Amino acid sequence: MPGPLAGVRVIELPALGPVPFVGMLLADLGAEVIRVDRLDAATDPLSRLPVGPAGPLGRGRRSIAVDLKQAEGVAVVLDLAAGCDALIEGFRPGVAERLGVGPEPAQARNPRLVYGRMTGWGQSGALAPRAGHDITYLAVSGLLHGIGPADGPPTPPANYLGDFGGGAMVLATGLLAALLSARTTGHGQVVDAAMVDGAAYLATMVRALHSSGDWRDERASNIFDGGQPHYRCYRCSDGRFVAVGALEPKFWMTLLNALGLDPASTPSPYDPANHAELTDKLSAIFLTRTRDEWAERFEPLDACVAPVLTLAEAPQYRHNAERGSYVSSAGATVAAPVPRFDGAEPLPASPQPPALGADTDTLLAELGYPPGRIAGLRADQVVG
């Protein structure tokens, strides 16, 4: 069954991380994504990393290898843009313009084109021209300060929040909104997705709690950050952990009964004065069994308790296996495409990434380039 974005054509300019993630997401949803690879990508060690075009993030595309530093290479990309619905890029501000593939020339060729831009700091602001990474974007968004143990430094949450949550998912949402607008107005838009902005946007609920005095700026002292006994992780006898999220009273009561505690004589978790005592009490109980023993006990109960699984363990977990939540792509076990649609299997349209430049001749021919010109572009090392 064709994905819901069948018929949508997207150009993806060279990038790593969140931009390829957006390209993968759009391809998984049925869009035709044309990946523009650098001519020297095959010899670039970064391109061969799993986060590059050769890994799972590179699946589902066609690939054309182009030298964007040559005028004829830029012309190829603009010719592609003339027949596409969207373009995504992750250059630093001003680079696409210097190369000649910025929004102005691209939309001059195709006024309906949606031009998606991904940066860390945004297209404007004091830090716009500076380098950064997920950890630095989270640092100035206010999020990093609140993640980690109370008695230790802030803990970077891998690169889930900045690169992929605040970056890729926000850009994908903006692209889809702009594509809908272009269909009704006939005019494309430039979508500016900055990871520092997107990460901050994810914290809207927590900021609302902070503004009302219900969230403290100290780590591990709040309702969702491990600061309360009924919403935190506990170590088990085998050194592994269970996650407890028994926030509501009905779940708390179920938790107490499963742990063999009397609800009538157990202090309330809704009084901060009891937090230290309750944390110690629950910590001692969870240390009496292994993680998997606790998981088996709690699986049939509505107590909001689950085993903390490793990346290697998660695909084998019964619930995930029954849903087919993981697939194989480019030699890696990764999450299946989401969300799911009625009548369609949650499988990548093409689980393997294309070889770099594998579709160069085909795509040029589709643009109307005659064989002689294609051969000339190859000879001049404009395409490969």
What residues does 117 pair with on adjacent strands? 89, 192
Of 101, 89, 20, which is closest to residue 61 (Cα–Cα)?
20
Name, in order, each residue with C-beta under 8 angstroms of 31's C-beta and a sequence gap of 6 or more. Answer: 3, 5, 6, 8, 9, 10
Catalytic residue among 28, 163, 225, 359: 163
Query: Residue 121 — left, alpha, or beta (φ > 0 → left; ψ -120 to 50 → alpha)?
Result: alpha
Residue 163 annotated in active site: yes
Distance CA 35, CA 357 (A): 9
Distance CA 265, CA 169 (A): 46
Catalytic residue among 44, 79, 133, 145: 133
| Amino acid symbol at 135 | I
In the chain, DSSP assigns E strands to 9-12, 32-38, 61-66, 86-89, 114-119, 190-194, 231-235, 241-245, 305-307, 326-329, 332-335
Distance CA 18, CA 29 (A): 17
Residue 9 burial by Cβ neighbours in a 10 Å radius (0-12, 13-18, 19+):
middle
Scored b (16 or more CB within 10 A) or e, 356-382 reads bbbbbbebbeeeebeeeebeebeeeeb
User: Are the C-beta atoms of residues 193 and 162 closer than 8 Å to each other?
Assistant: no
Token pair for residue 6? Answer: 């069948």
**By three-state DSSP, how is residue 62 classified?**
strand
CA–CA distance from 155 to each of 67, 195, 200 (Å)? 40, 18, 17
Token pair for residue 83? Answer: 């027949």
Residues with active-site annotation: 133, 163
